[in-house]
Structure 1
Amino acid sequence: MISRYKTENMEKHMDIIKEIAETHPHKVVLSNGKGEYKKIVFARKVLKGRNAYQLEKYTQTQVFHENIEEGRLAEHIAMHFPAEFKQMNAFSLTTDYDVKAGKKGNLAVSRRQAENKTISVGGNNRKKKYILDEGMDIPAFRELGIFTKEGKVVSSMYDKFRQINRFIEMVDDVLKSYKGDEINIIDFGCGKSYLTFFLYYYIVEIRHMTAHITGLDLKEQVIKNCNKLAEKCGYTDLKFEIGDINGYRTDRKVDMVVTLHACDTATDYALYNAICWNTTYILSVPCCQHELNKQIRSEELSALTKYGIIKERTAALMTDAIRGCVLEYCGYKTDLLEFIDIEHSPKNILIRAVKKPVSEEKRERAKEEADRLCRTFGIRQTLMQLVMTEERSHS
């Protein structure tokens, strides 16, 4: 009997997977993973003149890539869902899917009509005008695989292109108040440095300022490659260093700190460094926020912690709320903004903090709000602990 139920469930799983594959989705995201991989993204692309899917398999610290034929999409999804991952989101021209796997193997499937949108990035229907757009002669973008030789956005890189441009829009907005013609910036956890190269080009070539930018990452080979590319492009004031966000030191005055998807508490150490340096501008898009999810508990608000996905999202929102309060307490005008549509990235909150006079009353209120949240859910949050420890050491 148990075997028959398992067989029936497997057949139902394959039915929905095949249904999704037949819509030729431009993106499928498997998340809420319990094994080696935390997330797998299938992105539709053209490979050697044929439709294919590029897989991005995310571990805690790395991303692995693989290309598969379009006709093998269902097969590869079934290898991982629902055995390894409990959530699947798929996006096509006609239908968007939200599929969740229950403990007994049942699937909760939500279908909704896709918005009227154009996936092609080279056609005439795309109305959005970006600060850094197609047609610009930017050698670094071609070298990074974002632009083709003709200056068009590579289709598989369009989501990354949108993310980085959105970040640049945020930088453009805060720099309206900047009076100098030279700026020092640190990018913590720069990775392949798409943002870092975009940022350097934007400040030097678009704003016509002098920019000293340092990208920091732990991966030696990545840093070597980035320094070679910066030298090849003639970006003399763009440097990359091997280093840990925690404990990083610099003698240079830092005007801006940026982070894009620094994992878990790495964001907290980046924010803490920025606070200690009295940095004027902080722009941070957090990622993979596990710290509070392991701690969170509350009898009075147990409905928020009894369901895994609700607990995970609550913990992530609480993490950023506490970070916002701590930044306010440290004298920053702080906003938490939508970064980009969740279809293109589930990491869609951007923390924007600008150093400005903040009243003592507002600072203390922000501290109390963070304290109360921590007490209510029995949690200790890294940025708050770092700031409070530093404060006690000087009292």
Structure 2
Amino acid sequence: MNGKAQPEEWLAFLSEIEMEGRLLQASFSSPRRKDEETSRKLTVRPIKLKTGIFYQFERQINNKVFHDNVAPDKLKQQLQETMEQYKQALFKTPDADVQILANKKGALSLISRTKETKREAVPQAHNRSKTYVLPDGEPVPFLIELGVMTPEGRVMKAKYDKFRQINRFLEMVSDVIADLPRGRKLTIVDFGCGKSYLTFALYHLLAIKEQLPVRIIGLDLKQDVIETCSRLAAQLKWNDLTFSVGDISNYEGHDSVDMVVTLHACDTATDAALLKAIGWNASVILSVPCCQHELFKQISQPVLKPLLKHGILKERFTALVTDAIRANLLELAGYRTQLLEFIDLEHTPKNILIRAVKGTKSDLEDIKREYEQFRDFLSVSPFMEIKWE
């Protein structure tokens, strides 16, 4: 079915999936209003609770995920109200995918129905097992070579935390693949790649799974580590994954880079990597800062003396301030920036990932004013801002 959607046609479709339990999944995108209370994307799926089948509405706002479980007899009303907040939606049913679009006035303008092979609606358990980008039980050559998996594909018990970290990283990358350029070979630089678990994972995701034309360069100061990584890349025959010895601030290998990754670069090395990324006009930046000492001796604010007089609290506060400054400076450089939890705090206190995607905001003057007030209140002169100027 293609063409203009009449209101009664839309309502009939909702009645059909409500009464017959035909909804497998619904995805709403492109909010009609862009505000802090509206999620960029909202998904709906059936779940099985102790009291029966419900439909879970999942939305993410300011890096927090919210769930609302709706009873089957309330599904039609909730879907109708949700559609009023978004410009488009995709409904998956057992025999078709149905796309719904709304025009600028909010009226439904199109319903396209694509027939699919018969699919069965199977509600998922509420506390379902985690689905990984790289599943446990499926052999992955680079994970086997790195000692994370057995040849049969089972994750080694001692490496399960590393396995979870790799998958968490790949989830964060997957969310921004659509923001990378198309139509040419992508260039990615990983500063401070170390043993390169995540560098190999990144290449596997983009070049092997997504089949994107990509070259990745891993950079580290340790000669022995680089030699080991280079041997593994050659063994896997991944010719577009290379490793070099070098320093972040002095690296001049490329005039243009599409993605910059910097994981656990110490102190201002993270800032140097972010400045490189800005200079390259990179489309995507992923950074997990490590130790942050630069501002510890600078921060001065009498109002905060009850906090700052305790060394351990001052250290933690300084780390948060440093990452807040980095995020705001990235926004001023034209990036949409998020601070995300990388891995659980129980594994490491260095668990914040800065994810930045190129795309200028319209309120840069407000961001600049807020940032300057914040900086001046704490009497700091951040390395990243000084070097940027």
Q: How high is the TM-score relative to the length of structure 1? A: 0.64
Counterpart in 2 of 1:285? 288
The answer to whether the Cα contact below 8 Å between 1:200 and 1:213 also exists between their aligned partners in 2 is: yes
Q: CA deviation at 1:179?
A: 5.2
Structure 2: state its 5+ residue gaps.
1-126
| 1:159 aligned to which of 161, 167, 174 | 161
The answer to whether the Cα contact below 8 Å between 2:267 and 2:289 also exists between their aligned partners in 1 is: yes
Counterpart in 2 of 1:338? 341
1:375 is the counterpart of 2:387: no
Identity over aligned residues, as a percent? 53
Q: Deviations over 1:171-217 (max 9, x none)?
A: 10011344516321110100000000000011112111122000000
User: Aligned partners of 1:344 and 1:127: how far apart in 2?
Assistant: 20
SS at match of 2:303: coil
1:143 is the counterpart of 2:145: yes
The answer to whether the Cα contact below 8 Å between 2:337 and 2:356 also exists between their aligned partners in 1 is: yes
Counterpart in 2 of 1:322? 325
Q: Deviations over 1:276-300 (max 9, x none)?
A: 0000000111111111123222112
User: Aligned partners of 2:208 and 2:228: how far apart in 1?
Assistant: 22
Q: CA deviation at 1:304?
A: 2.2
Counterpart in 1 of 2:229? 226
Q: CA deviation at 1:159?
A: 1.4
Is the deviation greater in 232-241 or in 347-356?
347-356
Counterpart in 2 of 1:3? none
Is the deviation greater in 300-309 or in 236-245?
300-309
User: Aligned partners of 1:222 and 1:322: how far apart in 2?
Assistant: 32
User: Aligned partners of 1:163 and 1:273: how far apart in 2?
Assistant: 25
Counterpart in 1 of 2:200? 197
The answer to whether the Cα contact below 8 Å between 2:258 and 2:284 also exists between their aligned partners in 1 is: yes
Map residues 328-367 of structure 1 onto 2, 5 A cutoff. Answer: 328-359=331-362, 362-367=363-368
Q: CA deviation at 1:247?
A: 2.3
**CA 367–358 in structure 1, closer or farther in 2 if over 3 Å, else same:** same
Q: In the alignment, residue 372 of structure 2 is paired with which amino acid?
A: D
User: Aligned partners of 1:171 and 1:126: how far apart in 2?
Assistant: 23
Q: In the alignment, residue 163 of structure 2 is paired with which amino acid?
A: F
Larger-Rg structure? 2
User: Aligned partners of 1:163 and 1:292: how far apart in 2?
Assistant: 28
Counterpart in 2 of 1:71? none
SS at match of 2:176: helix
1:207 is the counterpart of 2:210: yes
**CA 276–252 in structure 1, closer or farther in 2 if over 3 Å, else same:** closer
Task: Count residues in correspondence.
Answer: 262
Is the deviation greater in 341-350 or in 212-221?
341-350
CA RMSD after TM alignment: 1.7
SS at match of 1:169: helix
The answer to whether the Cα contact below 8 Å between 1:188 and 1:217 also exists between their aligned partners in 2 is: yes
User: Aligned partners of 2:330 and 2:216: how far apart in 1?
Assistant: 23
Q: CA deviation at 1:156?
A: 1.8
Q: In the alignment, residue 356 of structure 1 is paired with which amino acid?
A: G
The answer to whether the Cα contact below 8 Å between 2:179 and 2:284 also exists between their aligned partners in 1 is: no
**CA 308–256 in structure 1, closer or farther in 2 if over 3 Å, else same:** same
User: Aligned partners of 2:331 and 2:260: how far apart in 1?
Assistant: 16
User: Aligned partners of 1:179 and 1:371: how far apart in 2?
Assistant: 33
User: Aligned partners of 2:264 and 2:315: how far apart in 1?
Assistant: 17
The answer to whether the Cα contact below 8 Å between 1:188 and 1:257 also exists between their aligned partners in 2 is: yes
Map residues 101-180 of structure 1 onto 2, 5 A cutoff. Answer: 127-178=129-180, 180=182
Q: CA deviation at 1:306?
A: 1.2
Q: In the alignment, residue 243 of structure 2 is paired with which amino acid?
A: F
Q: Deviations over 1:40-73 (max 9, x none)?
A: xxxxxxxxxxxxxxxxxxxxxxxxxxxxxxxxxx
Q: Deviations over 1:121-150 (max 9, x none)?
A: xxxx99111101223332221221111232
Q: In the alignment, residue 149 of structure 1 is paired with which amino acid?
A: P
Q: How high is the TM-score relative to the length of structure 2? A: 0.65
Q: In the alignment, residue 370 of structure 2 is paired with which amino acid?
A: E
The answer to whether the Cα contact below 8 Å between 2:206 and 2:214 also exists between their aligned partners in 1 is: yes
User: Aligned partners of 2:216 and 2:261: how far apart in 1?
Assistant: 10
